[in-house]
Every structure is written in structure tokens, then in C-alpha cells.
Amino acid sequence: MYPRRVTRRIWLPLAIALVALPASASADSGPYVRVSDERSTTYSAYVEFATPVRAGPSFEERKLANLRPDTFHGRPEVVVVLGYRDVDGRRWLRVRYAGLGRRVGWAKESAFSASTLRRTLVVVDRDVPELRLLRGGKVVLRVPVGVGASESPTPAGRYYIRERLALSGTTSIYGALAFGTSAFSRYRTDWPGGGQVGIHGTNEPGLIPGHISNGCVRLRNENILAVGRRIDVGTPVLIK
């Protein structure tokens, strides 16, 4: 079951009061007020109305992408809210959004739902390879995984859980549960939807751990179910 979309606007001044994070600066945006550290404090919001993402908080800035209310799989589209900046009486949100490469830009606040706070972080360590769940900086779950093989490595970077996909059984290649992330693989752009990287179960548990996938992160079914009880859409993901 997915959270029902709401029409109440994000009230980020409250978020700032709660997390007490300082203002930040970025070469491509200028100063802005930071609300998510993407570790223990991460705010996400649903896209309620189609909107462009721009290189800076202005309608005159270059358009980077177009956000739509639904994903390729028909799930509500979500972004991570990194911070905000007020320009000429209008609030702009600095967001992390789904796609190939580093996807960070600016969009007007009125296109999004109210924000939701997540305090858990997913870390995928490709060298080990393993997945760790952290809450408050402490590891609460550690499980072995299968990650991308050398010809199609799992992309490193900061991402987030974009959608949760309910599966009918455990015999498919996606196992008992699958999450779509905001990460995309440049080696699998011919996949339906453009090469989205998933975190999912498997019907070949004997291959885990290892560098054995096309870029997705595979878990044994009992482990993906354990992860699924602890995370939700909007949870940040660090792949290193």
C-alpha cells in the first residue's frame, strides 16, 4: 500500500526547526537552507503536478529534466528534498530526483506534496559486498548481497528508494520483494524504463554474495523481506 497523496504544501520552516541544520552553499545554486543530511534526517515529497527541474532557483535557469506525478511503473513519483531557497516571494526546493548520473536541481515548491521524514539510511558496499541499514548512525541490519558484475557495475553515489513493487511470489528473478531506486545504469539503458537499478530478492540465492548482477542489488528473500520491514519510499541510499 502506497501513502495517499496529499495536497497540503510542504512546511519546511518547521522542518528546519526540528533538525536545526545550517545553511549550505553550492556552486551551481548559491546559498540555500539545508533540511536533509541524507543520513539520519531525510525529507521526501511526492510530485503532485508535472514540473521542470532547473539548474537554479529561477524560471530563467536552464531546464535539467521534467518531473511527472507517476513513475514508469505507475507508482507515485518521489524526490528527496535537500533544502530550499526563497527568491522574489517564491519558494524553490533543491531536490534529488531519479535518473542517470547525478540528478540534483531546483523546482517550485507548489508542485510537491507535504514532506515525510525518514531517519534510516541504506548503505550498499560493493567491495564486501553487503547491505547495511543504519539508524542514528548505528548499524541495525547487515546482510550479504549480489551487486553488478564488472561489465555492468552498480553505480556509486547518493540515491533513494523511489518505489516499492509488490510481487506475487518468490520464483521470479526479483524474488519476494523489489524496490526501485532513483539510480540508473548507463550500461542497461535499453531496459524498459531506461535501466533503473533495483534492490530486490532473487531466485538464485546461492550466487550471493558476489559481483553477479546486471547492476541491481540482489538479496536472499528472507533478507529483502527483513529490509522491507524497515524502509520505505524516500529512504536515502548510499552506494559506495
pLDDT in tens, 108-122: 999 999 999 999 999
Residue extents of the structural domains in the chain: 12-118, 120-239
The predicted structure's pLDDT at residue 189? 80
Greatest Cα-to-Cα distance within the chain, rounded to the nearest angstrom: 58
Q: Alpha-carbon distance 48 to 59, whole Å?
A: 19
Beta strands (DSSP E) in 167-207 are 177-184, 196-200
- How, if at all, do strands 63-67 and 51-54 pair? antiparallel
Out of 37-46, 139-148, 165-174, least confident range: 165-174
CB-CB neighbours of 22 under 10 Å: 7
Closest to 181 measured CA to CA, from 111, 105, 232, 108:
232
pTM of the shown model: 0.88
Fold of 12-118: SH3 type barrels. (2.30.30)
pLDDT in tens, 178-200: 999 999 999 988 777 789 999 99
SS3 of 110, please? Answer: helix
CATH of domain 120-239: 2.40.440.10
pLDDT in tens, 74-109: 999 999 999 999 999 999 999 999 999 989 999 999
Give me the phi and psi of 237, to 5 degrees please: -130, 130
Contact 1, 233 (CB under 8 A): no
Closest to 84 measured CA to CA, from 15, 20, 18:
15
Residue with cell 556509486: 156
